[in-house]
Amino acid sequence: MLDTPAPRIILSLAVVALFYGALFTGHTPAPVAPSAPSAASGIATDVAKGLVAEAREAIGRGDYAKALKPALALHDAFPSSHIYIEQLANTYHHLKQPVEEAALWEEYLLKAPNPSSACPHLGLAYRAQGKQDKAIDAFERCLAFDPSNPDAILYLALAEEREGHVEKAAELYERGLTLAPKYADLRLGLARIDLRDGRAAEAKSAALLVLKTSPDNTDALFVAGLACLRTGDPAAARKYLERGLSLSPGNADLAQALAQVAAREGR
């Protein structure tokens, strides 16, 4: 990925898989609960502090099953606290319960002073449920918070691309690139659309431009490999795809593309 902030790392984890329709997910950091909750909820302050400590300790060691009970109790005791909503949403995320997670992020949008912090988690939670229409709606709402945010543009573009809304996706990728010309995932999104529309040479040029500064970008290696295959250069395709597979062992999409190369070569 080119010249992008650290939070964008989440976007590159499985963009390759999108070409074949696979899901990609992001890592959500666990929030730290406040150390001194108010007793205004009706539960004793020492009880609340104990729940905070229990949740924090469980989250700190990655035991989200253990964190669920105190996280639920804190949310019930302080239903207006966006901090406890976020903590519970993240707990459900790590427990792979996207239905509950999405409901919490929807609640967060209504109660948090900075509702955009629910992004992109809300859309990803809907996507994990297979609710693509709701995912697109969520990503659209997220983009409305900041129409000039290239990350938000990318999430919506990827969702539109997954649903086969190629023209919408292309418009979004181009819009994002006007804001962030060096954003590799936006460039590769357009390259995938070029591949689908038969413009393999253009797709190859875009992928090689990314590889020039990010030689280990497996998404770019994937696009370059398929582009070479479609322009009649299976040897070059094999080179890019084998490098990608060496960087991402077990990647089914790269393996499938290599199988296409082998078939073209008669092996």
Does the domain at 199-267 match CATH 3.30.70.870? Answer given as no
pLDDT tens, residue by residue, 182-227: 999 999 999 999 999 999 999 999 999 999 999 999 999 999 999 9
pLDDT at 104: 98
Q: Is residue 235 helix, strand or coil?
A: helix
- Name the superfamily (CATH) of residues 41-118: Tetratricopeptide repeat domain (1.25.40.10)
| Percent over 90 (pLDDT), the chain | 81
pTM: 0.82
Q: Which two tokens stand for residue 150?
A: 């290239």
pLDDT of residue 266: 82
Q: What are 1-10's pLDDT values in tens digits?
A: 334 443 443 4
Phi, psi of 4 (to 5 degrees): -125, 155
- 253 in Cβ contact with 17 (< 8 Å): yes
Ranges in the chain annotated CATH 1.25.40.10: 41-118, 199-267
**The pLDDT of residue 33 is above 70:** no
